[in-house]
Structure 1
Amino acid sequence: MIIRPSKPADAAQVAPLIDIVFTEMEIPQLMRVPKKTLYSVLQQAFLLPTYRYGYPQILVADQKGKIEGIAVGYLHEQEAHIDDALQPLLPKLGLTPQSSLFTDTETYPGEWYLDTLAVAPSAQGHGIGTKLLQAVDPVARAHKADVVSLNVDQQNPRAKKLYERNGFVKNGELMIGSHRYDHMVRPVGE
């Protein structure tokens, strides 16, 4: 298995992995969208380089051509406009271009934010999440960040244990949508 930057050709395999997190978050606007439609829009959005889930923000765990996990991240300073590129595609989801899927602030100044860590259900429990977590430090360092942050749903203790094993510590709480999250940080490694 290799961890590598994603590329446009990965779109079809990455879309269902992004949706794992969307499903857990219970985003009301997306819960009524058919999966086929959602995946089509996610694949189009994946090609937009400045979008939150655009390929330049994503690392993939590639097992002989099969994408088994993703890590999505960006600098805090990008957060305010990270979803702007998606606006023209929102009508395909039955939403207006002025709609917003994410209205809550998720990160803080100076952080490189790990927005999404997802592993295919069939590949969980094999260390892929840990490998992806280890791979984000060079990306954060390249963006001149000293801290990697993430948010973990308080209803997901298994994920929190993974993050704690990988050096993350809780430094606050916040609401994202209708769920309460622990905000966790760790210094960028050497």
Structure 2
Amino acid sequence: MEVTALCIKLLTIVMMPCEHDQKVNAASLHIDPNRAQFFVYESVTFYCEGVSYCEVVRESKGKISSCKTSNKKTSTGSSCTIKDVFPADSGKYWFEAEAGERSNSVNITITAGSVILEIPALPVMEGEAVTLTCRNKTTSSQTSADFYQYGDFINNSSTGNMIIYSVSKSNEGVYKCNISGAGESAESRLIVRGFGES
């Protein structure tokens, strides 16, 4: 009987971290539009899924006060829209729920310049098609652009779009783009998840 009781006690100790991990991962963050870079005065919406209510947190600033008044309920959780973003709003964001759940995080960059790289803020799955777009703030027409990974030139596109038809781990990394006469974008990371990775 003593051995049985000891086994049950050990099993309880082993199980506790697993329950904690599930609690941490209960809240899921999505972002709309799903890109890591924005021009000033654009808006970004954070969606919290998996729990009834979340608050947006920025790594260097804490909870976003404007979200307390603009937070809206959705069918899967809640959302908060931050309007008229500025370079000072750049950074890492995540959600925290009332019960202590913490979501995944995203990094966004807001630039006062004329060029951004439209690159997914959320991880993409291996095998998916991914389009990176070099966008000029001053024109809506297609513009030739150069693309770089870790600072090394990798592609020139006459349309400003670079399509990776089946993304793999080798495509993961830090990207930027340049439009002649308009300027260079900031750098942002493309994160690639393998099958089975969380």
Query: Do both share a fold (TM > 0.5)?
Result: no
More helix by share: 1
- 1 or 2, which has the higher strand percentage? 2
TM-score of the two chains, using structure 2 as the length reference? 0.29
| Rg (Cα) greater in structure | 2
